[in-house]
Structure 1
Amino acid sequence: MSIQYKITPHHIAAHLFAVELTIEQPDAVGQIVHLPSWIPGSYLLREFAKHIVSIEAESAGVRVPLTKLDKSSWQAAAVAAPLRVRYQVYAFDLSVRGAYLDHERGFFNGTSVFLAVAGQEDQPCGLTIVPSQNDTWKVATSLPVQQVDAAGFGQYLAQNYDDLIDHPVEMSDFSQIEFMAAGVPHRIVIAGRHQADLPRLAQDLQKICEYQIQFFGTPAPFKDYLFLTLAVGEGYGGLEHRASTALICNRSDLPRAYEAEVKSGYRQFLGLCSHEYFHSWNVKRIKPAAYAPYDLSQENYSRLLWAFEGITSYYDDLCLLRAGLITEQAYLDLLSQTITSVERGYGRLVQNLEDASFDTWIKYYRQDENSPNALVSYYTKGALFALCLDLTIRQATQQQKSLDDVMRALWKEYGSTFEATGRGIAETEWEALAQRVTGVDLSDLFELGLRSTAPLPLQDLLADLDIVWQQRAADSAQDRGGWVAQAAAPKLSLGVKSASDAMGVKLLNVMTAGAAEQAGLAAGDVLVAIDGLRVTTSQLDAMLATAAQGAELPVRSLAVHAFRRDVLFSCQVTPQWAALDTIGLQPNPVENLDKSKARRKWLIG
């Protein structure tokens, strides 16, 4: 094989992987090698080359000069014999996007550790994973095996560089369990300390996987599938790959043997698994033309991320219901929380979904204190737009067509043939296909939902399914939405998100048009006293609750003392009534048979 990689946990205490790249037939004018600047599925230039701490090359036992061309590329001097490049990579990123190495585990995505060979990216790549000094470690990866030992260390084979970097690798003393879904072997690996009920987890994931495979149609687009999971004290995230996913979760979210119910944390974890698994079809194979192929050296712009992340976010929780893992009301509570999260951001009135997709490189993955006022999530609002599309299609066709049909058509025309054709969806093709498949004129809805910031017609569409819409103020800072039997008493608000600080209350976000903004307060300010009394987060809540009791218009202003950096200042803040931005949904207790039948058709699929 003309391209060979070898990776070794070299200096665990220093978090260094040693990588060796052998190129049998280097470019005659001087071989260029380069590292990706971003990883597919996470749309931000992360500049992985910054973690290469040393690099050198040799050929036939003689050192070869390397010239750095730019931030992530090197060129070797011309040689006639095979070229060997050796380098060390610092690996201490605990996320699902990078590389990590310590005494407990090693993990890497190929985008963080494997230099590409310019001009030979389409060539097959061999990979040797060398054991660490820890003899309890095993290897878990979806890379095709060539020759490995009982622990999984040894030789693997990738079709090309794109294939090589799309199979993350876990090395640790992990626990694992296997199951079959629609005839396909699946494996769950959990690294980190945990007390998970693995048989329960396998049983539940099997239902999700079988539903999604049947949803798109057999055969599945992979021969086997791997859930790589890291359990930590506090963490959450996932990243999709062609035959696996890398996940991180709170260890307390995993199910335990004595827990019969689907607790909220476990429900969230199952939703994460469902989301990343759905990506096996929607974005890994059905993908925008802008990503076919990826250019990992720079931003790849598309206005279609709402269709890939938003629609996947719509189906992730819906699949839990359709797989029989949660109840109808539990699903409506999750949907309520998604609506609530969008309603609470002023950015929904500023940025539309197409712009959110296009600007993800500079906005969504680079959020700051003003982000709630300036952007909308193509995940959450994209999911709500997907709901609107689904319900509009169902309503217009008397439940004969749905978004399900659109997704299956996308799979048939683009996804199932992608490996052969490499064809992605052009920016206008998604809308055209949806209208062709359903026979419904959706042009006005696309204009409204994608290219404007006008409210989505969610309430009316849900009412047609006999779902009651409850709109109220948040009961507390922990209230994420959902149906409540009795709404709390009206509350006053400063229009901020805050956190405890050693001196008082630190403002994390100051919302557009809120009381704090109107008074001149800003994110980063620390409130130290209100009406002459020292303030903490709990005291602030109590003060606002007291002020709301029997309050008359106009509401009395509060004298606030605060620090901005090291400067003390004072201002008058007039609290506002808390926004009715918390949504709850439930089926109408007084059932309308026709509407209830349509609702069940939607939820069951």
Structure 2
Amino acid sequence: MLIKRYAVTACMAAMLLIAGGPSMAQVAPPALPISLHAIPQPVDLAYPGTLTISVDATDLTRRIFRVRETIPVTRAGPMTLLFPEWLPGNHGPVGPVSSLAGLVFTANGQRVEWVRDTLNPYAYHIEIPASATEVIAEFQRLSPLTPSQGRVEITPEMLNVQWEKMILYPAGHFSRNISFQPSITLPAGWSLGTALEASSIDAATTTFKPVDLEVLVDSPVFAGLHYRQIDLDPGGRSPVRMNLVADNADGLKATDDQIALLRALVVQADRLYGARHYNHYDFLVAATDTLGGIGLEHHRSSENSIDPAFFTEYVSKLGDRDLLPHEYTHSWNGKWKRPADQLVPNLNTPLQNSLLWVYEGQTQYWGKVLAARSGLHDRQQALDALALVAATYDNRVGREWRALQDTTNDPIISQRRPAPFNSWQRSEDYYEEGQLIWLDADTLIREKTGGRKSLDDFAQAFFGVRDGDWQATPYTFDLVVQTLNDVVPHDWATFLRTRLDGHGPGAPLDGLTRGGWRLVYSETPSDYQKTLYAEYERNDFTYSLGLSITGDGTIAGVQWNGPAFQQGLATGAQIVAVNGLATSPKILADGITAAKDTTTPIELIVRQGDRYRTVGIDYHGGLRYPRLERIAGTPDRLGDIFEARRR
């Protein structure tokens, strides 16, 4: 009907023009299309019956998930089904609806046509025929084949099933009121890990116990040919396991000493939080360089990817050491205790991110602390890692115009797309600058109480109550402030808002100095930085020339208003020569050092596309790498923070 009305309107306009009537500019435009049916708003009522969803994940070569979903219905007439849009842990509207293909509905053995909502492309409208008791949806989830298409979820050796990318669910109900029974069919010989509990296993198909939609999307699956499960809490009050898949059998070779560190993580988390908000917890870990990278929190599990040589070349693999402490902490912060503006009724209700500086920022802080307390980082590594964070944000010039609070909108604004000038645009800085704020709070509490109390007391009061309860509980800014005040009276609201809404100059580094340390720069990187950047193949001259480069001299990042920026350099250009010599990271470093004792600019030949130009950078400050330096005569509160708890 809408199409016909548009056609008539267009014909009438043409006839008016031919007849010398009003011009097109004077003819009212056709009405915009409207939704075929109003999309029901979610209400807190149970959906009748249990939906079933079966995923066939055996097409490894083409990386296709084949889905069959059965939806019980109780009446004929219009029905709206939703594909999840706002994905938990992603903090934004990133549901990959375009990857759903081949969608066919049937009822009573007959095809039921669907129409996508013209205003909400995540909604599908159907008409349920009379006497139907169920509707069957069959479709494919076409997962990315290459990283350029998105995160790779299937390889010949392993896969990752995230249920929110595999389902349609009835509009009009809270997620917690829609029951699903999922099942998955895997390639022969594969094993899986998940927080879901199996009800039956038939050959390669595992059927799980029914759960509500909220629990389902919070319970992904890692599966693979090379699989090992490790008990991380032998004899504990609730199981904690690592489910490890790998590109090959070598990736499973965690040693007894490495397992002891992971078990210490569980012990230190118990001593920090004092309660568990799960009946069991499953780390899902992929040792891989073929499955797409991930670190994603869930209430009773987490999705984690680590370097394939994480266990076999442990000493040189620092980049993933604090990943598991971070994601494990989210079981308490973000999943059990959850920002009130993220407790939404269903997966198509917009999230608000105003408290991500607690949800992610405090989790980043505790992740680093637990990595140190468990021994995943030694004391020096913990200090050196903190130096890198402090230097990054002390030089984050974008703070001049954009407050940290506004960066909590970034998952919605930019959805983690790369930025041309990250130091100026800012990104999800609530993670690591948030870490600095919580360090500031921790050291202030320790100072005001003479070391009798700390942010650990906040963690106990905020997260360490109602042991065994895993019903999500909301928190607000006022509750955070109130709990801090219960630990030690202070104007915490002003303390936090000043740091969240301020513009510097410089990062909030009072936590460092109050902790007994200061940020300094030296001409040589720390052992931690050398090892980490070798792992990442990163060559960092941010605090000297104001840029970083890859091994072939391609510029990976440029500091806004730094020396390189002022000479017109930008990401993507390639430095092909330094002072007449073919470039390499060492040649560039030598050129920076040689310029210290001269007034001669550092000469770079730069290629951008098909154009070459010579650039002279008048910089003579030498190499600069961040470190922490002890402030003599002050308490070493950082040392106390990183010390393992004995009880």
Normalising by structure 1, we get a TM-score of 0.85
Is 1:445 equivalent to 2:495 in the alignment?
A: yes
Partner of 2:361: 310
Q: 1:353 aligns with which of 380, 396, 404?
A: 404
Q: 1:225-268 deviations in whole A, cap 9, x for unaligned?
A: 11111112487541111111111010222257xxxxx7352x55
CA distance in 2: counterparts of 1:602 and 1:526, whole angstroms: 41
Is 1:506 equivalent to 2:554 in the alignment?
A: yes
**Alpha-carbon spacing, 1:325–1:57, altered in 2? closer, same or farther (3 Å):** closer
* Larger mean Cα displacement after TM superposition, 57-66 or 19-28: 19-28
Segments of 5+ residues of structure 1 without an aligned counterpart are: 257-261, 483-489
Partner of 2:439: 387
Segments of 5+ residues of structure 2 without an aligned counterpart are: 1-48, 532-540
Partner of 2:273: 216
**Alpha-carbon spacing, 1:248–1:327, altered in 2? closer, same or farther (3 Å):** closer
Q: 1:138 aligns with which of 178, 187, 191?
A: 191
CA distance in 2: counterparts of 1:158 and 1:473, whole angstroms: 58
Q: 1:475-504 deviations in whole A, cap 9, x for unaligned?
A: 36997399xxxxxxx999432222345xxx
Is 1:397 equivalent to 2:449 in the alignment?
A: yes
Q: 1:35-75 deviations in whole A, cap 9, x for unaligned?
A: 22243112343331111121101112111111122432212
* Larger mean Cα displacement after TM superposition, 86-95 or 184-193: 86-95
Partner of 1:524: 572
Partner of 2:606: 562
Shift of 1:298: 6.2
Question: Does the 8 Å CA contact 1:314/1:383 hold for their aligned counterparts?
Answer: yes
**Alpha-carbon spacing, 1:587–1:146, altered in 2? closer, same or farther (3 Å):** farther
Computing the radius of gyration from Cα coordinates, the structure with the larger value is 2
Question: Does the 8 Å CA contact 2:274/2:464 hold for their aligned counterparts?
Answer: no
Q: Which letter does structure 1 place at the counterpart of 2:108?
A: A
SS of the residue 2:408 aligns to: helix
SS of the residue 1:164 aligns to: helix
SS of the residue 2:322 aligns to: helix
SS of the residue 2:409 aligns to: helix
Q: Which letter does structure 1 place at the counterpart of 2:383?
A: L
SS of the residue 2:253 aligns to: coil
SS of the residue 2:183 aligns to: strand
Partner of 1:6: 54
For residues 177-576 of structure 1, the aligned pairs below 5 Å read: 177-180=230-233, 182-192=236-246, 193=248, 194-197=251-254, 199-218=256-275, 220-233=276-289, 237-254=294-311, 263=315, 265=317, 268-293=319-344, 296-297=347-348, 299-323=350-374, 326-363=377-414, 365-375=416-426, 377-411=429-463, 419=471, 423-454=473-504, 461-465=511-515, 467-469=516-518, 471-473=520-522, 475=524, 480=529, 493-501=544-552, 505-529=553-577, 535-548=583-596, 550-551=597-598, 555-558=599-602, 560-576=604-620
CA distance in 1: counterparts of 2:71 and 2:542, whole angstroms: 67
Q: 1:123 aligns with which of 173, 178, 183?
A: 178
SS of the residue 1:223 aligns to: coil
Partner of 2:640: 600
Identity %: 21
Shift of 1:456: 7.3
Q: 1:269-318 deviations in whole A, cap 9, x for unaligned?
A: 34211111111000001111111126533652222111111111111121
Is 1:47 equivalent to 2:98 in the alignment?
A: no
Normalising by structure 2, we get a TM-score of 0.79
CA distance in 2: counterparts of 1:103 and 1:580, whole angstroms: 44
Q: 2:71 aligns with which of 11, 20, 23?
A: 23
CA distance in 1: counterparts of 2:152 and 2:637, whole angstroms: 49
CA distance in 2: counterparts of 1:41 and 1:13, whole angstroms: 29
Partner of 1:113: 166
**Alpha-carbon spacing, 1:158–1:509, altered in 2? closer, same or farther (3 Å):** same
Partner of 2:28: none
Question: Does the 8 Å CA contact 2:284/2:302 hold for their aligned counterparts?
Answer: yes
SS of the residue 1:221 aligns to: coil
Q: Which letter does structure 1 place at the counterpart of 2:238?
A: V
Q: Which letter does structure 2 place at the counterpart of 1:161?
A: L
CA distance in 2: counterparts of 1:461 and 1:57, whole angstroms: 58
Question: Does the 8 Å CA contact 1:38/1:48 hold for their aligned counterparts?
Answer: no
Alignment size in residue pairs: 573
Partner of 1:487: none
**Alpha-carbon spacing, 1:461–1:142, altered in 2? closer, same or farther (3 Å):** closer
Q: Which letter does structure 2 place at the counterpart of 1:243?
A: R
* Larger mean Cα displacement after TM superposition, 111-120 or 523-532: 523-532
**Alpha-carbon spacing, 1:471–1:131, altered in 2? closer, same or farther (3 Å):** closer
